[in-house]
Amino acid sequence: MAFKDGATIRLFSRNEKDFGEKFPEIVNAVGALEAEEVIVDGEIVALDKRGVSSFQLLQTIEIGERPPVYYYAFDLLQLDRKDLRKLPLVERKARLDHILKNAPDVVRYSAPLGNDAEKLMKQVAKLGLEGLIGKRADSVYESGKRSGAWIKLKTRREQEFVIGGYTNPQGGRTHFGALLVGFYEGKKLKFCGKVGTGFNTKLLSSLHMRFKAIQRGDCPFVNLPELRGSRYSPRVTAGEMKKCHWVEPQLVGQVAFSEWTRDDKLRQPAFLGLREDKDAREVIREHPE
């Protein structure tokens, strides 16, 4: 969420973390918008050399790198003190498009793509993009809600998971071997897999530093140790748990995977990066419809 009120500019994630210091180029660009007061909803994106959005590239900011980032604005909640949330989406987007006409390139308008989902998804897959968001054209803006007025259409399987621990490194790896991740069912954190790929040396080091600050003595997962495993998800035994390191379930990671196994475990998971904008308690297993 980007807020402009005269010379005061603020940038907040969905869990109310202040991102202004982390993304000063976006703050400066929002400040240049041709509106005295405005509230915009959007997505912070890093683009690779092909112009394709990359969540992993965005994560390199955490280890001191600085890829070019952009703010893709897709909704307008308020303009010059007037609350627009009850207006139809198409009208809100039309007003958003108007105030972004002369915006700096860092702020970009996320335009409608039409309603032929099948054709669009084929193009999305061809370009190697993550997917689409579909929204009802007449929908109002419902703050803080997951509504049936919008859906995610994905080309690959990935979602957020809570990090509850990690294993010791093996071979030539340093810091840790694999993450132990899970999701919430009510108030219970359920283990669903080990994530051992998707890391470079800098990321291993920075994550390990974060883990040391939130260590705990006991396992946060309700379903460990396991009595049985499968070909694709070997069980975590009581003996193996003695070698694991546990952390408070506060950090959320984005993970790509090939499929869910029959025993609710991840097959071929790969770490994509931390989700600083997600509250761990909100992470549940996503079911495609």
User: Of 101, 121, 154, which closes a domain?
Assistant: 154
> What are 181's strand-pairing partners?
163, 193
Best CA proximity match to 256, nearest among 135, 138, 130: 130
Q: Answer yes or no: do 233 and 209 share one domain.
A: yes
The answer to whether 30 and 22 have CB atoms below 8 angstroms apart is no
* pLDDT of 159 over the 80 cut: yes
Same domain (yes/no): 125, 235? no
| Nearest-angstrom CA–CA distance, 243 and 79 | 55
The answer to whether residue 138 is domain-embedded is yes
Q: Do 27 and 117 share a structural domain? A: yes
Q: Give the residue, 191 or 16, on which the prediction is more confident.
A: 191
Strand 131-135 to strand 150-154: parallel, antiparallel, or no bridges (unpaired)? antiparallel
Please indicate, yes or no, if residue 288 is contained in any of the structural domains. Answer: no
Q: Indicate whether 145 pLDDT > 80.
A: no
In a domain, 289, yes or no: no
Domain endpoint, select from 154, 180, 209 = 154
What number is the average pLDDT over the span 43-71?
90
Mean pLDDT of the chain: 93
Predicted confidence (pLDDT) per residue in 181-216, tens digit = 999 999 999 999 999 999 989 999 999 999 999 999
Total domains in the fold of the chain: 2
- pLDDT (0 to 100) of residue 244: 96
Q: Does the residue 252 lie in any domain?
A: yes
Q: Does one domain contain both 128 and 262?
A: no
Together in a domain, 180 and 79: no
Structural domain includes residue 216: yes
Count CB atoms within 10 A of the CB of residue 95: 16
> One-letter amino acid identity for 28?
N
CB 168 within 8 A of CB 243: yes
- Identify the pLDDT of residue 232: 65
Higher pLDDT, 174 or 228: 174
Q: Does residue 101 belong to any structural domain of this protein?
A: yes
Q: Which segment of 32-36, 150-154, 267-271 scores lowest on mean pLDDT?
A: 150-154
Other C-beta atoms closer than 10 Å to the C-beta of 155 total 16
Q: What is the pLDDT of residue 94?
A: 97
Q: Is the pLDDT of residue 4 over 70?
A: yes
Residue 196 and residue 256 in one domain: yes
Q: Is there a single domain that holds both residue 166 and residue 266? A: yes
* Residue 82, φ and ψ in degrees, nearest 5: -100, 125
Range of the domain at 33: 2-154
Name residue, tokens 């904008």.
277
Answer whether the bond into residue 225 is a cis peptide, omega within 30°: yes
Q: Which among 137, 154, 171 is the end of a domain?
A: 154
> Is there a single domain that holds both residue 52 and residue 93?
yes
Whether residues 211 and 277 share a domain: the answer is yes
Residue 268 Cα to chain centre, angstroms: 19
CATH number, domain containing residue 210: 2.40.50.140
The CATH number of residue 70's host domain is 3.30.470.30
pTM of the model: 0.77
Whether 245 and 120 map to the same domain: the answer is: no
pLDDT score for 156: 83
pLDDT band at 108; cut points 50, 70, 90: very high
Residue 72, in any domain of the structure: yes
The pLDDT confidence band at residue 289, using thresholds 50, 70 and 90, is low
Is the domain of 140 the same as that of 168?
Answer: no
Same domain, 12 and 146: yes
Looking at residue 155, what is its pLDDT? 85
Q: 262-278, pLDDT tens digit by residue?
A: 889 999 999 999 999 89
Residue 43 inside a domain? The answer is yes
pLDDT in tens, 213-251: 999 999 999 999 998 777 667 789 999 999 999 999 999
pLDDT in tens, 59-69: 888 888 889 99
